[in-house]
Each structure stands twice: as structure tokens, then as C-alpha cells.
Amino acid sequence: MKFKLLLGIILLLLLATMLCACANGWAQVEINEDATLDQTDEAIQTETPTELPLVINTSTFLSQEELQRRLPVDNETLSQTASQKNIRALVIPHHTLAANLAAQGIRTLVKQNPSVIVLIGPNHKNIGPKAATTKAVWDAGQGTLQTDTVAVDELLKQNLAEQDDNLFKTEHSIGALIPIIAHYLPKTKVIPIVYYYRYDQETILQTLKQLIKSLPDDAVIIASIDFSHGLTLQKAQEKDQVTAERLKDWDEKAIADADNTYLDSPTILAALMQYLRETDSQDLKIIANTNSGKIMQDSQMICTSYFVLKYASE
């Protein structure tokens, strides 16, 4: 009898030990599962979301309908402005009234087909960063034009510009030219930069040097500039004659010192001229020069004047 009682006690102890072991195992499994879930939740929380680029619709600057009306149609002009030389830079207007002149300049790049364009112009409202850029994608109506975000990142890294995407929603010195670039060069990327009025010439020059050094050899600079402002047709023509002489003489100091009655971006153009002179790209051709009074056939109206300039390597 005592033996049976002892055996029962031993069996009960063994059973209790087994139950404790199982309970501990279950608890460990739950702990491991909880830890795994916690790690998964933490990974999800710390994962950086992909930020989609801003898309800017350029129809607010230049609609497809207006672009088609203003595109040059004569092949003769194209043959006259085309060049076998390596085009390094263009100066073209951003006033939409002169969109045909901007197109006349941009289409000279069709054969060259640059992979990237450095597109610089004035910040008309002088708001936001004094040197601003963007990573926006451009909805140009007939397709999208891409920004070279790698180059923009380098600009930001070197503190040569600050990113302000919203600024470019309304800045027509860039937006008005994007549909024209997209029409003639749909696969070309752009690096947009806008500057305050009279932004430091030397800083713009150094920015151009740093950018071009890091870009493919086929990179082209386009300066988006309108010229004489606030004068009658005759007075605007007189100012343009002076400007033309300064351009031919490579007098960037006189260009930099000029006021708004000559051009809207004096230090941008002066910096570009200095860069081109230092890189032996001084083959200048004045493709066109006119003003809004001539275009509108109104000699009494207050005018904006325009140049289309092409610079090639010698």
C-alpha cells in the first residue's frame, strides 16, 4: 500500500515537471513572436516613405494651343540658324509674346540634341531663396520633361542654391520655356535655377563652372532673359543698339552695370559672358532682335525687347 502511494506521488511530480516545461516553452514562443512583431512594427515605422516629386503643369505659362500658333514654320530660318559648330549657350526671351523667338533659338539645338540644359533666369518677384532650384517634373502638355535631380542634389550639397519647388509654379522665366524645350528636345533634362535681381555675378559664374564640370560634354546653358523694359519702341531700339555693341565687344562689366531699361538680368548675362570667354566659346551670332511694339505693330506702346543669341566654341 505504501509502495503504491509513493509511486503515485512520483508520477504526480513527473507530470507537474512536464507541465511546467511545456508552459515555459509556450511562454518563450509567445515572447519570440512578440519580439518579432515588435521588430517588424519598428521597421515599418522607421522606413522612410518615398517622396513623389512635384509636377508642375506648364500650360499656365504657355498652353499647347498657343505654342503651336507661335512655333516657327519656315525651314529657311532653321537652315540659317543651324550650325555645325558646338553650341555652348543660348540667350532667349521668356515673354510669351516672343515664344516664336525662343523656339527659333531652341530648335538650333535639335541636331546637337544635348542630354541636359542648365536653364537660368530671373526670379521676377525676388521671393524665396536668392538662388533657387527645384526637382519638379514638368508636365509640358505633350509629355513630361525631367529635371536632372542628381545635378540639383549637387547644387544643394554645395550650397549653390536652395530648393523651393513652389516658387517655380509661378516663375515664368523657367516655366514659359519648358514647353518649347519639350517640343524640340523631349528627352533632354533640365537644371532650373533662378536668381534675384543683381545676384552676385561671381557666384553665378562659379555655379556655372561647378555645374558644367560635373555634366556631360554636350551640356548647354540657356539664359532666359528679356531685354529693354518700360520704353517706347524707338527708345527700346536705341537701348538695344547699345546692348548689341556691348555684346559684340564682350563688355560684361557694362552689361552687369546696366539697368532695367537695357535688360532684366544683368549679372546673369555678365556671368554667362565671362564663363564663355574663359572657355573659348566666343563665337557669337545674334539670331534675332526685336520688341513687343514691332510684334504688335504699335509704335506708341511701352515695350519689352528681345534678343536671341547663340554662342558656339571657336
Compute the distance between CA of residue 272 and CA of residue 224 in angstroms, rounded to an integer. Answer: 11
Q: Which CATH number characterizes residue 206's domain?
A: 3.40.830.10
Compute the distance between CA of residue 89 and CA of residue 13 in angstroms, rounded to an integer. Answer: 93
Lookup: cell for 11? 508520477
Compute the distance between CA of residue 103 and CA of residue 219 in angstroms, rounded to an integer. Answer: 18
Domain check: are 130 and 7 in the same one? no
Secondary structure letter of residue 87 according to DSSP? E
Question: Which of 11-25, 118-132, 159-173, 209-223 comes out lowest in average pLDDT?
Answer: 11-25
The full length of the chain comes to 314
The confidence band for 20, taking pLDDT boundaries of 50, 70 and 90, is low
Query: Percent of the chain at pLDDT above 70?
Result: 80
pLDDT tens digits along 29-63: 444 544 444 554 554 444 455 577 899 999 999 99
Q: What is the mean pLDDT of residues 66-75?
A: 80
pLDDT tens digits along 274-309: 999 999 999 999 999 999 999 999 999 999 999 999
The confidence band for 184, taking pLDDT boundaries of 50, 70 and 90, is very high
Query: Percent of the chain at pLDDT above 90?
Result: 76
Which residue from 262, 302, 268 is spatially nearest to 97, judged by alpha carbons?
302
Domain check: are 173 and 291 in the same one? yes
Provide CB contacts within 8 A for 156, sequence distance 6+: 133, 162, 163
Predicted pLDDT at 12:
56
pLDDT tens digits along 261-275: 999 999 999 999 999
Predicted pLDDT at 16:
56
Predicted pLDDT at 278:
96
What global pTM score does this model have? 0.83
Q: Is 90 exceeded by the pLDDT of residue 116? A: yes
Strands annotated E in 99-255:
116-122, 131-133, 137-139, 144-145, 162-163, 189-195, 220-224, 229-231
Q: Is 90 exceeded by the pLDDT of residue 250? A: yes
Predicted pLDDT at 76:
45
Q: Is 90 exceeded by the pLDDT of residue 115? A: yes
SS3 category, 112 = coil
SS3 category, 97 = helix
If one counts every other C-beta atom within 10 angstroms of the C-beta of residue 29, the result is: 10
Per the model's pLDDT, the better-predicted residue between 75 and 51 turns out to be 51
Quote the radius of gyration of the chain (alpha carbons, Å).
Answer: 32
Domain check: are 32 and 127 in the same one? no
If one counts every other C-beta atom within 10 angstroms of the C-beta of residue 234, the result is: 12
Domain check: are 159 and 225 in the same one? yes
Domain check: are 64 and 109 in the same one? yes
Predicted pLDDT at 37:
45
- Class of residue 155 by CB neighbours under 10 A (exposed 0-12, middle 13-18, buried 19+): buried
Domain check: are 40 and 87 in the same one? no
**Which residue type does 79 have?**
S
Domain check: are 36 and 159 in the same one? no
Predicted pLDDT at 260:
97
Provide CB contacts within 8 A for 133, sequence distance 6+: 152, 155, 156, 161, 162, 163, 164, 191, 192, 193, 194
Among 13, 30, 47, identify where a domain stops: 47
Question: What's the number of domains the chain is made of?
Answer: 2
Domain check: are 3 and 111 in the same one? no
189: left (phi over 0), alpha (psi -120 to 50) or beta: beta
Predicted pLDDT at 124:
97
Q: Is 60 exceeded by the pLDDT of residue 186? A: yes
Domain check: are 134 and 263 in the same one? yes
Domain check: are 60 and 43 in the same one? no
Domain check: are 285 and 247 in the same one? yes
Question: Which of 44-48, 100-104, 125-129, 162-166 comes out lowest in average pLDDT?
Answer: 44-48
The confidence band for 10, taking pLDDT boundaries of 50, 70 and 90, is low
Predicted pLDDT at 218:
96
Per the model's pLDDT, the better-predicted residue between 51 and 171 turns out to be 171
If one counts every other C-beta atom within 10 angstroms of the C-beta of residue 239, the result is: 21
Domain check: are 37 and 64 in the same one? no
SS3 category, 137 = strand
Give the residue numbers spanning the domain of 32. 1-47
pLDDT tens digits along 93-112: 999 999 999 999 999 999 99
